[in-house]
Amino acid sequence: MKRKLIIEQYEFGTIEGINDEVLLKAINKAQSRFFTNQDGFLYAEILKGGNKWIKLSYWNSQEEAVQAQKAFLDHSSCLPFVQMISPGNTKILYLERILRYGNIAFRERR
């Protein structure tokens, strides 16, 4: 049986006064020093709408994603990012990709 792709949806908001540039630096640090070294990690995307942020991380399995999430809070490279997140304003959802439509390569619209 073929294993299906798992998508971790991590929704968060920041504490008052954190600007996007500082937050993105912290996210990049956590991404390059922690997440890219985790078993089963494939890639991630960061989305923003208003004052809400969503990080979509793509994994080989939910077990690997959950294991990484548990280690995330204790890893020194993730601390700056964790300190910028508004407590009680986070949600994590694990989704299994069932179908995918369209081409992953995007073309510039004219």
Which pLDDT does position 22 carry in this prediction? 95
Q: CB count, 10 Å around CB of 4? A: 13
Q: What pTM was estimated for this model as a whole?
A: 0.83
Q: CB count, 10 Å around CB of 53? A: 21
Which pLDDT does position 72 carry in this prediction? 87
- β 41-49/6-12 pair status: unpaired
Rounded Cα gap, residues 65 and 35, in angstroms: 10
Q: Give the pLDDT means over successive 10-residue stretches in the chain (110 positions).
A: 82 93 94 92 95 95 93 88 89 90 65
Rounded Cα gap, residues 58 and 65, in angstroms: 8
Map out the domains of the chain as residue ranges. 6-96
Which pLDDT does position 1 carry in this prediction? 47
Helix, strand, coil percentages for the chain (3-state, nearest 5): 35, 30, 35
Rounded Cα gap, residues 76 and 34, in angstroms: 9
Which pLDDT does position 88 carry in this prediction? 84
6-96 belongs to which CATH class? alpha beta
